Each structure stands twice: as C-alpha cells, then as structure tokens.
Chains A and B, each alone.
Chain A
Amino acid sequence: MQRFLLTALVLIGTFLAQTVLVPHLSVAGIQPDLMLVVIVCFALTEGMNMGSFTGFFGGLLEDLVMANYMGFNMVTKTIIGGASSLLRDMGPREGILWPMITVFGASIISQAMTALLAFLFGETVVVRSILSWSMLPTALYNTLFTPFIYPAFIRVLKWQESHARMQVM
C-alpha cells in the first residue's frame, strides 16, 4: 500500500514538475521529458511490471490533461516502461552510465514511436518536427537530467524500504 502511494505521488509530482517547472528549462523550444526519465528509472530498478504500469499511468496522466489525442503518451510510455526493464540486467547495476544510456535510447525510441503514431493519424507537422529537429536534442536533454533524477529516485526507494522494514519490526 505504502509503495503504491509512493509511486502515485512520484508520478503526480513528476507530472506537476513537467507542466509547471520544466517549461522554464526550455532551450530553443526543446524541453526534457521528466516523465520518461522517471518511468525508465522505475523500469530499471523495479522490473517489467512496475515499468509497464508506471508507463501506463504516467502516460495516462499526461494524456488526460494535455493531449490532443488521448492515448499517444499511454502507448509510447507503456512500451518504453516495459522495454526498458529488459535492459536492466544487460549493463552494470552500479553507477549512472547505464541508466543514462537507457534513457537516451528510450527517448529516441519513444519519439520514433510518437512520430509513427502521428504519421498514422495524419499529423505530418508533428512527424516533421520530431524527425527534423526535436528528436536528438530532447534525447540528449533527457540524458543530462538522468544523473540528477536516478540517484534521487534510488534514495527515495531505499528510504521507503527502510521505513517499511522499521514498521514491520
């Protein structure tokens, strides 16, 4: 129950930060996708189930409030959440390098999927925008945020685990 509440709080907090704080960090129209970074963090630390669920609900939260097409973020973030968890045993467990590489790859794939969905729905402007200028800078921006978010994320999880253990004792 406690873990469920913490996850919900992290997702809502990330969403609020994404809509309120992140626009201030925009550089030439490019802004980081904090929700994606957090979902990859969940996937790398908690595995496929958690990655998929946080991707689904994180995407749902974004789609409910901001999206022209509800489901765009749900589809891409659920797949990213599930797929990123497959990489967790492929790289070193310690350190920040592997999460950074995963976030970079996940950002590229996420935007490629969005471009594909946009193409299927006839949103050619979005496709052009992603492929011509936003794909790589957004991926780099997300990667730069990972060294700040991933360690903080691990610390919160450890705090919650020790808190839960203390309550059991």
Chain B
Amino acid sequence: MIDRRTSWGNQITLGLLVLISISVLVLHFREGPNGVLHRAQRFSVNLLAPLQAGSFSVTRGFSDTWASLTEFSRLKEDNRALTRQVSEMRRDTVTLKELDLENKRLRAAIGAPVRQQYATVFATVIGKSVNTWQATVILDKGSLDGVKQRMPVATADGLVGQVMSTTANSCLVQLIMDQKSAVGVRLQNSRATGIIEGEGQEQLQLNYLPKGVKTTAKEVVMTSGLGGVYPTGLVVGTITSTARNNDGLFQDVRVSPTVDFWTLEEVYIITGVR
C-alpha cells in the first residue's frame, strides 16, 4: 500500500516537474529579452563565469604541462620553424608598411577614403556549448568591456563568429560553424560573392556561388562586408572542394575554416572603428 502511494507520489512529482519545465519553455519563448527568465539567464551566466574560467585555466594548465612533456621534440622543431617565420614576417612587415604608406598617399591623391582600422578587445574562451547541434562559446568579456550583441569575433587565423548575447562580464558567441550562422563572403581571386553557412561540422558550405565562377583549390575566402555584421577582409577559410551539379544555378563549394574551433582559446572582439 505504502509502495503504491510512494509510486504515485513519484509520478505526480515527475508530472509537476515536467509541467514546470514546459511552462518555463513557453514563457521564455514568449517574453522579451528583458523578461524575468532572460534576466535570470544573464544572472546565472555572470555567476558561473568565474567558476568556468577557473576550471578552464586548470584544464589548460594540465594540457599545457602534458603537451610540454610529450611534445618536447616537436616543440623544439616548431620553435625553429617559427623563428624562421618571424624573421620572414619582419621583412614582410617593412614591405607592407611601405605599401600601406603608398596606399594612403595614392588614396589621398584620388580622394578615396582611408581604409578603416578596428578597435578590439581581447578575450579568453571560458566555456563551450553543451549540445552537439549548437556551436557556441562563452568569452570572459562582457558589456562592461564595451562588448555588444552582433559584434564580430576573430583570431589572428581568421573569423570566429559573432556575439549573440552579453552579460556584465561575459558574452555568448555563435561560431561560424553553427548551423544557424550565415556570413557574406568574397573569393580572393575571382572576387565573386556568396554566403558561407555552418553545418555544425568541421567543413563550411559556400552557397549561392554562380556556376560560371572559376574557383581554385585552397583559394582564400574572406568576409565581403555585405550584411553589416562582419567587416570586409577577414579570412574565413580556404576552398577544399567544388562540385558543379547539372541542375541548379550554383556550385557546391566546401570550405575549410582557417580557425581551429576545437582548440580555440584566445580571440579578439571587434568593438568598433578606430
């Protein structure tokens, strides 16, 4: 008798909890961004951000120590290669500086506006998405650092994504590999434009590229600036394969992102024009 009563009690508890969950889901969907549940979400993110940052630095410390022990010989080789690369890049920097000055002079001569430079905020990844179907990361910079919704996020390697929401000390970033992400892009050689869409996997899909456009393997794909979220000229990836179907107007192009999203640690957020 008691067993049956306990069993009923458990089932009623389960039913009530499911009912509360469904109510929360519907309420969250219907309320605005300043509603109670949205505010509770922002409060929790703020509360848990230091804990996540702490855990992230601990795991990073472990993985760094492990890597330095197991990959010592490779690191030595990398170091040599990087030293060589630095000296090559120093030489390139001098050339680029000259070209930049020349560009500015020529632009001034023909009355064209000077290229924009961007103000950035550096941030560290302190958490990653819990679901397979979402590709998001949490950064340790928020509205107090001047971060706002829809600001682009990148690394030295290329485009990472855009800020979806912010709290005082953290922000949620949608990666370009997220299935809801779409980025206006331009091919470096042909200058043709298209839209890169995420598929939740390592490769990105380049859509709306007309069949007539000639593409080459490893051709660089950059942001076009169309759409208003991302500035022009940020590297997105390189073309890995192209297929021309008989039907349809567009090519089927796959792009490999230049950013390694699985090892993403430090990024910069473009907060405005300098």
Contact = CB atoms under 8 A, between A and B. Distances in A.
Interface of A: 12, 15-16, 18-24, 26, 28-31, 33, 35, 47-49, 52-53, 55-56, 59, 62-75, 78-79, 82, 85, 114, 117, 121, 125-126, 129-130, 133-134, 138
Nearest to B23: A71
A79 B13 CA distance: 11
B67 interface: no
A60 B177 CA distance: 26
A15 B20 CA distance: 21
Given A20-B52, A28-B202, A66-B127, 20 more contacts: A20-B127, A20-B128, A33-B130, A49-B9, A53-B13, A56-B17, A65-B48, A65-B127, A65-B138, A66-B129, A66-B138, A66-B172, A67-B41, A70-B37, A71-B22, A72-B25, A74-B24, A79-B18, A125-B133, A126-B179
Interface in B1-33: 7, 9-11, 13-14, 17-18, 20-29
Contacts of B144: none
Given A69-B25, A78-B17, A62 B130 contact: yes
Contacts of B18: 75, 78-79, 82
Interface centre among B18, B22, B37, B131 (most CB of A within 10 A): B131
A23 B130 CA distance: 8
B201 A29 contact: yes
A20 B55 contact: yes
A56 B21 CA distance: 8
Interface residues of B, number: 50
B14 A82 contact: yes
A70 B17 contact: no
B contact patch SS: helix
Given A23-B262, A69-B29, A74-B24, A64 B180 contact: no
B161 to A, nearest CB: 14
B128 A19 contact: yes
Interface in B65-109: none
A106 B133 CA distance: 18
A19 B127 contact: yes
A65 B21 contact: no
Contacts of B243: none
A59 B130 CA distance: 11
Interface string B137-179: 0100000000000000000000000000000000010000101
24 contacts: A19-B52, A19-B127, A19-B128, A19-B130, A22-B128, A22-B130, A23-B262, A26-B262, A29-B135, A29-B177, A33-B130, A59-B21, A64-B41, A69-B25, A70-B37, A71-B23, A74-B20, A75-B18, A82-B10, A117-B25, A125-B180, A129-B200, A133-B201, A134-B132
B132 A138 contact: yes
A52 B14 contact: yes
Nearest to B40: A64
B136 interface: yes
B117 interface: no
A16 B55 contact: yes
